[in-house]
Chains A and B, each alone.
Chain A
Amino acid sequence: MLNRKTIVLAAISILVVGLLGTSLSVAASSHMDDLSGELEIFSWWAGNEGPALEALIDLYEEKYPDVDVINATVTGGSGVNAKAVLKTRMLGGNPPDSFQVHAGQELIGTWVTADRMEDLTWLYNEQGWMDVFPDELIDLISTEEGIWSVPITIHRSNIMWYMPDNLEEWGVEVPNSWDEFLEVAPKLEEMGVTPLALGTNWTVNHLWESVALDVLGPDKWSALWEGELAFDSEEGIAVWEKLDEIMEYVNDDYSSLSWQQATDLVVEGDAAFNVMGDWAAGYMSTVLELEPKEEFGWAASPGTDGVFMLLSDSFGLPKGAPHRENTIAFLKLLGSKEGSDTFNPLKGSISPRLDSDLSKYNVYSQSAAEDFSSDRLVGSLAHGAVANEGFMNDFAQVMEIFLNSRDPERAATAAQAIAKQNGIQ
């Protein structure tokens, strides 16, 4: 009996305190420091990206000690599992307070079209973000109706990696275009070196976008996604033809290698070059403990110097988020210089803000940040910026058709068909 009494008492006191708490927080909503309750952040940042998120959460908890942050992580590269869980939660009417989503069509085509996000234009104006983020980036996360998320990271997709010492030994220069690459490739092959290291299927899509950026140039690349240039046009087919030539010079076991294993081929001197996003810099400097610039080198992928193909992780405010005020405080932190410069050096990405404190970043990131502020910015296909999820999924199948048939025209026709099916053309 006594036991039950205490439980009832406890429950009542919790209720009273809770009610008081909510009423207080409503009353004091202008003072953000008094936030309380919970904040659930949904992401796929685990493993070696986990510490960066932890640091950001620590910073948040320091500012708002009464908020209980729930770090809901679903592991799996580029969010393959997290996105599935998120969709079932959203369909079930149980959205997290904020979730990770690639800036661009992955956000717009899936969530904004479905009217699931809140417009954040007011927050951009209030925080003065219109001036600190580059216009091209804001365009990626906007529609005519509003701005839909806050970017936290910037990665670059079009980078070619190599080992300077090895290149010197082989007497090879970094190619400035894919045609130049095709000239040196036979020479490398004669020496028993794989000219280009490639990994599992999505890294072929990743290679495709770098090749396309060289063949088409940034203007036509953008035209492709605005539906002004057909995938089965002459230029469109030319991209596949170039890829077909390049595929002659890759390791033949690529489809069973992870991107890290493909990078390993370059590091170990079995292969000369590798096209991969700049998370490879983090892998080589942190995991393999190589010195940037001294032991491993990089250049924009052939023919794309002066163009920065970007992908960006961002967080938005879903409609019906259970703790809206806490989420807004979190988004403010994400967009702030302090939050951005806490998170990105640990993650190995650069800040989307043009005024970030470069002294906190490593050698590679400093050079990337420099390019980010001066280069022309375009969006990546393989990482959710320029095309919606339907197209991205179908594109993986088009790539399979190409890899099996090695028929550029057939691949281009199929690409055009899926563009039509997914509302791009």
Chain B
Amino acid sequence: MQFKSDKIVPLLILLPSLVLIGIFVYGFIGQTVYVSLTDWGQGAALAENPEINLIGFKNFGDLFSGFLNSRFRQDLVNAVFYTLFLVSGALGIGLILAILLDRGPKGESVFRTIFLYPMSLSFIVTGTIWRWLLAPRGGINRLPTMIGLPAIGFRWLNSRQSILNFNWQNLPQITAIVVGAVFLYIAYRQWRSRSKKKALLSLVPTGLLLLWALWGARFTPAILPTPEQHGFNLATIGIIITAIWQYSGYTMALYLAGLRGISEDLREAARLDGANQFQYYLNVAIPILKPMTMSAIIILAHISLKMFALIFAMTGPDNAETSHPAVLMYLTTFRANNFAKGAAIAVVLFLMVAVFIVPYLVSAYRERRA
């Protein structure tokens, strides 16, 4: 009896939340995936019993290679750059701030509060404030005039310039080269760990991918009928700055806790071995901070995929230059009534988040078992 209730009681306690999460999280993820495979959104989309047909992966195909969906593709490119810059910017600035505070300057707690404070604001509030600061005729652009210099003319939020352009038609080749490079790296690692057979095996896909990308691709049909340039839009810089401003305090707090957790003995030992401050941080402290970096990357990366509110507050729904798949999903679903395509965009976003979260969960699970 004792044994049984041991299992039953926890199960009973967990059951309500399992059921609720099953319905409201996984059930609706399933529902969204289903909708993304239909044509819901034609004609009477909002009828009580709308006519919905399964059409397979057509919505996804349209998004990635349809003539009219160039905004989705630019949004996807934007999302990649938002993630890249938010993660690297917030990690870098957070680390520098943490190291400065770690050295115990006067008024440390005041600075800590000041740096951490932006995180407690909502994206709507920061977005509104920074929209004013970055306005073309005011705020930051007017600062130099206070000391008699000409005003800055840069359009933080509405520049139409873009750099690092590439042709979307070349995307399959670019992907093939990147994946090939990853296999090459794996082969190199295996070679180093003296499993030459495995290394040679890994070289096969590398060779095939590179061969296709450099030579074979010209025989496969293009994914778009016409060339289409996408790149890093300079108008996103304003939004990136705002996001970094808001979240570097958070990484600072994470790193500072990590730095404070390093025992004084270790620092003493490093000093005895002749390491100066710089060497101590580079060779001793930062490697110890690796778990913090990992969790910060996960958190920041998924925040960067949820920047909807910040973008909506700063540049509004129709400014495609700074847009994000999440904004497009909202417009496609609720303004254009195209529920199926909106769901397809949501699924793409979901997969992007999964790319960050799943490896983290797997490694965390493994660590706990070990």
Contact = CB atoms under 8 A, between A and B. Distances in A.
A390 interface: yes
Interface stretch (B38-46, B182-190, B250-258, B297-305): B38-46
Interface residues of A, number: 35
Contacts of A423: 43
A390 B337 CA distance: 7
Contacts of B137: 253
B217 to A, nearest CB: 26
A218 B316 CA distance: 32
B136 interface: yes
Given A114-B46, A116-B47, A200-B316, A256 B337 contact: no
A403 B135 CA distance: 20
Interface stretch (A82-90, A146-154, A298-306): A82-90
Interface stretch (B84-92, B100-108, B317-325, B343-351): B317-325
A2 interface: no
Interface string B332-344: 1011111000000
A256 B335 contact: no
A397 B70 CA distance: 9
Interface string A61-93: 000000000000000000010011001101100
Interface in A374-425: 389-390, 392-394, 396-397, 400-401, 403-404, 414, 417-418, 421, 423
A363 B319 CA distance: 36
A256 B160 contact: no
B315 interface: yes
B78 interface: no
Given A393-B335, A393-B336, A401 B47 contact: no
A255 interface: yes
A115 interface: yes
B158 A421 contact: no
Interface string B307-331: 0000000011111110000000011
A166 interface: no
A295 B44 CA distance: 48
Give the secondary structure class of A's interface: helix
A29 interface: no
B22 interface: no
Contacts of B332: 393
A48 interface: no
A110 interface: yes
A380 B70 CA distance: 26
B311 to A, nearest CB: 13
Interface in B112-152: 135-137
Contact of A390 (B135, B158, B336): B336
Contacts of A389: 335-337
A111 interface: yes
Given A255-B319, A256-B155, A114 B335 contact: no
B320 A400 contact: yes
Interface string A163-207: 000000000000000000000000000000000000011100000
A255 B46 contact: no
A113 interface: yes
A84 B317 CA distance: 13
B67 interface: yes
Contacts of B58: none
Nearest to A253: B136
Contacts of A392: 335-336
A334 B56 CA distance: 47
A418 B67 CA distance: 10
Contact of B318 (A115, A202, A253, A401): A202
Contacts of B317: 80
A110 B318 contact: no
A201 B316 contact: yes
B43 A113 contact: yes
Given A202-B318, A390-B336, A403-B160, A114 B155 contact: no
Nearest to B155: A253
B146 to A, nearest CB: 21
B142 to A, nearest CB: 13
B9 interface: no
A114 B42 CA distance: 11
B37 interface: no
B330 A396 contact: no
B320 A256 contact: no
Of B155, B160, B337, chain A has the most CB atoms within 10 Å of the CB of: B337
Nearest to B318: A201
Contacts of A421: 68
A80 B338 CA distance: 15
Nearest to A422: B336
Interface string B27-60: 0000000000000010111111010000000000
Interface in A245-302: 253, 255-256
B160 A84 contact: no
A267 B258 CA distance: 57
B76 interface: no
A115 B315 contact: no
Interface in B263-321: 315-321
B59 to A, nearest CB: 13
B157 interface: yes
B158 A253 contact: yes
Given A201-B316, A253-B136, A253-B155, A393 B46 contact: no
A101 B50 CA distance: 21
A88 B335 CA distance: 12
B46 A256 contact: no
Contacts of A403: 160
Contacts of B335: 80, 83-84, 389, 392-393
B337 A404 contact: no
A87 B160 CA distance: 34
Contacts of A256: 135-136, 155, 157-158, 315
Contact of A397 (B48, B71, B338): B71
B68 A418 contact: yes
Interface in B62-97: 67-68, 70-71
5 contacts: A84-B335, A87-B46, A115-B48, A255-B321, A393-B335
Interface of A: 80, 83-84, 87-88, 90-91, 110-111, 113-116, 200-202, 253, 255-256, 389-390, 392-394, 396-397, 400-401, 403-404, 414, 417-418, 421, 423
Interface of B: 41, 43-48, 50, 67-68, 70-71, 135-137, 155, 157-158, 160, 315-321, 330-332, 334-338
The 10 nearest A-B residue pairs measured at CB: A393-B336, A84-B334, A201-B318, A114-B47, A253-B136, A114-B46, A400-B320, A255-B158, A114-B44, A256-B158
Given A400-B71, A414-B67, 11 more contacts: A90-B46, A111-B46, A114-B46, A114-B48, A253-B136, A255-B319, A256-B135, A256-B136, A394-B68, A417-B68, A418-B68
